[in-house]
């Protein structure tokens, strides 16, 4: 009897927010899951929630994705190849660069740049050999312009956008696609970490829910699109950013940051 090969998807930052929503969508489509997150308690809760809805096999890996070479650890623990990879894990840090915590910034850079890149590389080799596979890297609308008061976050997301576009081009015609999702403000745990709801004059428009954003990104990935920017206003912002002088765009971003968050000192 011919053995049926079930497809497997790996999702980082899978315990909540966009990662949880991506995992639900994959399970609905019959993918077995490898869910990676640092939050063991929430990760197991997510596993139980998905298993109660869909008959898929779920493996959980509790990993700090900001550590060096954690991508190699993950792939050594897998007993199968990965058909879909979603690099969703990430976090932000608000404040003047002169006073922010370098240890946290170093972790952010390692997660957004090194781990994302290495996971992509490790997943791509077998995908390229088999001539099929899907990768979704989660960047941000922040990737399209500099971001004062969140300088490293914006810069690292710009890296993800540029990197994803480049390898998507390299892979044309191979059967493997790379999509980069660039959402604007989304209701997730990320916003709780870098924003304050009680800040006077906080801008509350154009905030999407995680389920809608995940569905948009998931559909774009399955259709093989390279860049996915959910929401008409976000699309407009991403388009206009090409034509606005960088110094003006930078000043506008800073004003928005200051409206959304408490004032900080140098």
Terminal Cα-to-Cα distance of the chain (whole angstroms): 69
Rounded to whole angstroms, how far apart are CA atoms 93 and 95?
7
Positions marked catalytic: 153, 157
Q: Is 12 in a helix, a strand, or coil?
A: strand
Rounded to whole angstroms, how far apart are CA atoms 12 and 32?
14
Q: Is 143 in a helix, a strand, or coil?
A: helix
Instruction: Work out the number of other CB atoms within 10 angstroms of the CB of residue 59.
Output: 16
Listed in sequence order, the residues at least 6 apart from 199 whose beta carbon sits closer than 8 Å to its beta carbon are 259, 260, 261, 262
- Tell which residue, 39, 9, 37, has the closest CA to residue 24: 9
Asked if 181 contacts 137 with a C-beta cutoff of 8 angstroms, the reply is yes
């Amino acid at each position: 009897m011919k053995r049926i090969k079930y497809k497997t998807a790996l999702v980082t930052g899978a315990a909540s927010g966009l990662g949880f929503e991506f995992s639900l969508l994959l399970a609905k489509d019959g993918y077995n899951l490898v869910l990676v997150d640092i939050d063991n308690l929430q990760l197991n809760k997510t596993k139980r929630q998905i298993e109660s809805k869909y008959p898929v096999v779920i493996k959980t890996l509790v990993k700090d994705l900001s550590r060096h070479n954690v991508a190699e650890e993950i792939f050594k623990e897998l007993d199968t190849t990965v058909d879909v990879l979603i690099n969703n894990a990430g976090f932000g840090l608000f404040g003047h660069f002169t006073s922010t915590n370098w240890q946290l910034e170093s972790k952010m850079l390692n997660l957004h740049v090194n781990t994302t890149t290495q996971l992509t590389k490790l997943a791509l080799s077998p995908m390229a050999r088999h001539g099929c596979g899907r990768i979704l890297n989660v960047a941000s609308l922040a990737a399209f312009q500099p971001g004062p008061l969140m300088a490293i976050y914006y810069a690292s997301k710009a890296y993800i956008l540029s990197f994803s576009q480049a390898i998507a081009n390299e892979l044309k015609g191979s059967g493997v696609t790379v999509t980069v999702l660039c959402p604007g403000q989304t209701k997730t745990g990320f916003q709780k970490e870098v924003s304050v709801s009680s800040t006077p004059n906080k801008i509350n428009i154009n905030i999407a829910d995680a389920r809608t954003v995940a569905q948009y990104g998931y559909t774009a990935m399955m259709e093989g699109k390279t860049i996915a920017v959910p929401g008409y206003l976000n699309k407009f912002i991403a388009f206009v950013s090409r034509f606005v002088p960088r110094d003006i765009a930078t000043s506008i971003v800073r004003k928005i940051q200051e409206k959304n968050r408490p004032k900080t000192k140098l």
